[in-house]
């Protein structure tokens, strides 16, 4: 299983495609590197009010698709996961290396009309144009009557809002989207991080058996970010793992009333995230993730979460399960993303 061989620690961190931008324009590094070595149960900590800068490149990809990347020639679907802390500002310089009008529009954070990313506010990149978008985040704030206004911590996303139409429908269909995580200081950081986008009848613009195979070792803390796009309504289900239906996926205490789930609606424009311990209580193996609308799962909206042994070795039966998944007839494919994957870096 050479394509699933475990790379070194630096490669694993970089391949997460997680970006917590530094304070230097155009320079971005994975969150794990920006915060120091990743360790289980590590807590997030950051200076308040930091302005972080990052450069993204929008590029055409094979198969008439498009993606965002951190450097020329590095665009992926989904684009890099962007991270910030409550109270920080993220300045994104977007370089449009395509021949189409496009933009970048965020969910869950604050921005002015000129950073809206929509043609309504003349906020977009023409072909070949470079433009800076500014996103701000804030902490929970008290108001009159002892009530609290929510901050911006959460699992959000970003996407094009200008390609094809003023709503960016073509850009989204062709892969211009990615995850945005706003952390609260004290949040637990993951060992591994995966982004799953249900876009029409695809997963990350792919259908099985070409959907992502995500990997973690037994006991590692894994963060899942789920995003919905397109016009179809879906449900996200992860086999053998469950999470609390709240901001982090973890219970705050024995009296936390959050419902514990293993399936959750994932509809267009929606997003959520959670953390689990890989194989906790069930052991290593090849576990499915998929849309639980049966006709969607049958026709290719499914993938594999491979939980290796704690030492990184392949558990008994896992390779056989992966081979069966790859050889299964997943039915008719969607016009979007019905071809083999391209340019996607390893999931670890």
Residue-level pLDDT, tens digit, the chain, 348 residues: 433 333 333 333 334 445 554 443 333 333 332 333 333 456 676 666 899 999 999 999 999 999 999 999 999 999 999 999 999 999 999 999 999 999 999 999 999 999 999 999 999 999 999 999 999 999 888 777 777 888 899 999 999 999 999 999 999 999 999 999 999 999 999 999 999 999 999 999 999 999 999 999 999 999 999 999 999 999 999 999 999 999 999 999 999 999 999 999 999 999 999 999 999 999 999 999 999 999 999 999 999 999 999 999 999 999 999 999 999 877 654 444 444 344 333 333
108 close to 44: Cβ distance less than 8 angstroms: no
| Residue 316 burial (C-beta neighbours within 10 Å; 0-12, 13-18, 19+) | exposed
Yes or no: say if 56 and 80 are a contact pair by the CB < 8 Å rule.
yes
pLDDT of residue 328: 80
Q: State the Cα–Cα distance between residues 227 and 294, nearest whole angstrom.
A: 19
Nearest CA among 226, 218, 247 for reference residue 290: 226
Check if the beta carbon of residue 156 is closer than 8 Å to that of residue 180. Answer: yes
Residue with tokens 């630096």: 10
Burial per residue of 238-268, b for 16 or more beta-carbon CB atoms within 10 angstroms, e otherwise? bebbebbebbbbbeeeeeeeeeeeeebebeb
**Do 48-186 and 188-329 share a fold?**
yes
pLDDT at 331 (0 to 100): 67
Structure tokens at 81: 């996961």
Q: How many Cβ atoms are within 10 Å of 317's Cβ, its own excluded?
A: 11
Q: Which of 9, 150, 177, 149 is nearest to 82 (CA)?
A: 177
Q: What is the pTM of this model?
A: 0.84
Residue 16 has a pLDDT of 42
Query: CA Rg, the chain, in Å?
Result: 19
* Per CATH, domain 48-186 is 2.60.40.420: yes
Break the chain into its structural domains and give their ranges.
48-186, 188-329
Instruction: Decide which of 3.40.50.300, 2.60.40.420, 2.40.50.100, 1.10.3720.10 is the CATH code for 188-329.
Output: 2.60.40.420
Measure Cα distances from 267 to 59, 157, 199, 220 in Å.
27, 13, 9, 28
* C-alpha distances in Å from residue 47, one per residue of 39, 84, 168, 248: 20, 11, 35, 21
């Amino acid at each position: 299983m050479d394509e699933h061989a475990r790379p070194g620690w630096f490669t694993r961190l970089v391949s997460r495609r997680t970006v917590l931008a530094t304070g230097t324009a155009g320079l971005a590094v994975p969150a794990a590197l920006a915060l120091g070595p990743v360790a289980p149960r590590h807590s997030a900590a950051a200076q308040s009010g930091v302005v972080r800068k990052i450069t993204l490149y929008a590029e055409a990809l094979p198969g008439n698709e498009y993606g965002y990347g951190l450097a020329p020639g590095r665009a992926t679907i989904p684009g890099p996961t962007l991270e910030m802390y409550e109270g920080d500002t993220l300045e994104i310089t977007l370089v449009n290396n395509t021949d189409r009008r496009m933009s970048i529009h965020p969910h869950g954070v604050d921005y002015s009309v000129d950073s809206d990313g929509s043609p309504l506010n003349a906020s977009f990149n023409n072909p070949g144009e470079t433009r800076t978008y500014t996103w701000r985040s804030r902490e929970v704030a008290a108001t009159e009557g002892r009530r609290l206004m929510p901050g911006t911590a959460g699992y959000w996303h970003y996407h094009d809002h200008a390609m094809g139409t003023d709503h960016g429908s073509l850009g989204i269909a062709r892969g211009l989207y990615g995850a945005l995580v706003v952390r609260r200081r004290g949040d637990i950081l993951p060992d591994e991080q995966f982004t799953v986008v249900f876009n029409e009848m695809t997963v990350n613009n792919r259908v099985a058996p070409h959907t992502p195979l995500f990997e973690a070792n037994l006991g590692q803390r894994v963060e899942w970010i789920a995003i919905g796009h397109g016009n179809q309504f879906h449900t996200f289900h992860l086999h053998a793992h469950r999470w609390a239906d709240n901001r982090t996926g973890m219970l705050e205490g024995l009296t936390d009333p959050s419902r514990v789930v293993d399936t959750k609606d994932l509809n267009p424009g929606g997003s959520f995230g959670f953390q689990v311990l890989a194989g906790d209580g069930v052991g290593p193996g090849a576990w499915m993730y998929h849309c639980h609308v049966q006709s969607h799962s049958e026709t290719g909206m499914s993938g594999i979460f491979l939980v290796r042994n704690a030492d990184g070795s392949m558990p008994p039966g896992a390779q056989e399960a992966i081979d069966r998944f790859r050889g299964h007839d997943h039915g008719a494919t969607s016009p979007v993303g019905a071809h083999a994957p391209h340019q996607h870096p390893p999931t670890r």
